[in-house]
Amino acid sequence: MIEEKLGAPVGTALDRFIARRQEEFPFASGELSQLLRDIALASKIINREINRAGLAGIEGQADRENVQGEIQQKLDIASNIRFKRALMYGGETCAILSEEEADPIITDEAGAKYIVAIDPLDGSSNIDVNVSVGTIFSIYRRQSMAGAKLTPSELLQPGREQVAAGYILYGSSTMLVYTTGYGVNGFTLEPSLGEYFLSHPDMRMEANGSIYSINDGLYDQFSPGLVSYIQTCRKRGYKARYIGSLVADIHRNLLKGGIFIYPGTPSHPNGKLRLLYEGNPMAFLIEQAGGLASDGEGRIMDIGPSEIHQRTPLIIGSKVMVEELLEMLKEA
Ligand code: P6P
């Protein structure tokens, strides 16, 4: 029927999805929904910047380092500005913990309920070679009364206290994937409309998989248990896939099943990835999708942070694969 073809539905827009889900939380007063919308808006601006970086002369390195001592890319700085602005002006955020900021940013939003930890643009060194990059965010509720002074401990809550987490993947298409603790849903940006539409409802991770994702360049520093696991993967003919952009590697494993490992090494016992705005949000998402996330000894989301930029080893992905590696680490 021509009407069916002409009137084909465009799908569920992110705003409508958030609104519908808010109805399911009778006590939700809409601030978290608004915060998610603020993040989505900032991601659309970043998406546009990334897609035209080469033309706008905003590729490449800035002439300064971030708190991690890493050379900042120009788009790291641009992304940090955009997300900070969206969160500060959105009115729902009382504190921002950004990879690009040495110290927490305390907004003067007396009534704001939420603390946001964010990696504004993860993997940004890949932009110049046109490899996918991402934004990662993690949202906590403040524990003190609105208007009271925030305490250091509420800026360092364990990952199990997250109320929401997600990522935006700026890839062949731009996707926003998030959870509020009731499953994982993925939205794809329709550039011609500037809207995210539900494209991956109720994302579930395969219990097992045959993709392992690790920087082989560190092989000589791997522990005996990890060497044994990697050799087992190779013997089984598993695929080695490593993009070097956390959001892209995790997203692929979420869709296809697999394990991502960034281990501690003798030179870097806590590995490279940061707990608050990489490990915890990815752990929340993957556990919500049925997977596991560990630092090699315990659950990532049970780690009590001691400082906002602390690093953690990360073993994350399909349940059976993670459990097998943890067993080998124990036996070694
Ligand atoms: P390596 C990007 O710099 C990043 O923070 C993550 O996105 C990625 O998983 C990891 O580092 C890659 O690190 O040491 O393998 O280049």
Residue 52 CB partners (closer than 8 Å, separation 6+):
none
Best substitution site from 246, 309, 312 to test ligand 1's pocket, by max atoms within 8 Å of Cβ? Answer: 246
Domains 9-200 and 211-331 fall in the same CATH topology: no
- Of the pLDDT bands very low, low, confident and very high (cuts 50, 70, 90), residue 55 is low
- Residue corresponding to tokens 């601006």: 45
pLDDT digits (tens, 9 = 90+) for 122-178: 997 788 788 999 999 999 999 998 888 899 999 999 999 999 999 999 999 999 999
Residue 110, judged by CB atoms within 10 A of its CB (0-12, 13-18, 19+), counts as: exposed
pLDDT of residue 53: 65
pLDDT digits (tens, 9 = 90+) for 198-218: 999 999 999 999 999 999 999
Q: Is 123 in the pocket of ligand 1 (CB under 6 A)?
A: yes
Candidate ranges 78-92, 117-131, 263-277; pick with highest mean pLDDT: 263-277
For ligand 1, the distance from its centroid to the CA atom of residue 277, given in whole angstroms, is 13
Closest residue to atom 3 of ligand 1, CA basis: 123
Domain range list for the chain: 9-200, 211-331
Closest residue to atom 13 of ligand 1, CA basis: 244
Task: Check residue 267 and report its DSSP letter.
Answer: S
Question: What architecture is the 211-331 domain classified under in CATH?
Answer: 3-Layer(aba) Sandwich (3.40)
Q: Is 76 in the pocket of ligand 1 (CB under 6 A)?
A: no
Q: Is the dihedral of CA 294, 298, 299, 302 positive or negative?
A: negative
Cα–Cα distance measured from residue 163 to residue 203, given in angstroms and rounded to the nearest whole number: 18
Q: Is 122 in the pocket of ligand 1 (CB under 6 A)?
A: yes
pLDDT of residue 126: 86
- Of the pLDDT bands very low, low, confident and very high (cuts 50, 70, 90), residue 4 is confident
For ligand 1, the distance from its centroid to the CA atom of residue 76, given in whole angstroms, is 14
pLDDT of residue 58: 66
pTM of the model: 0.94
Q: What's the fold here for domain 9-200?
A: Fructose-1,6-Bisphosphatase; Chain A, domain 1 (3.30.540)
Mean pLDDT on 283-309: 98
pLDDT digits (tens, 9 = 90+) for 101-111: 999 999 977 78
Nearest C-alpha neighbor of 109 from the set 136, 142, 156: 142
∠ CA 99-308-43, rounded to 5°: 35
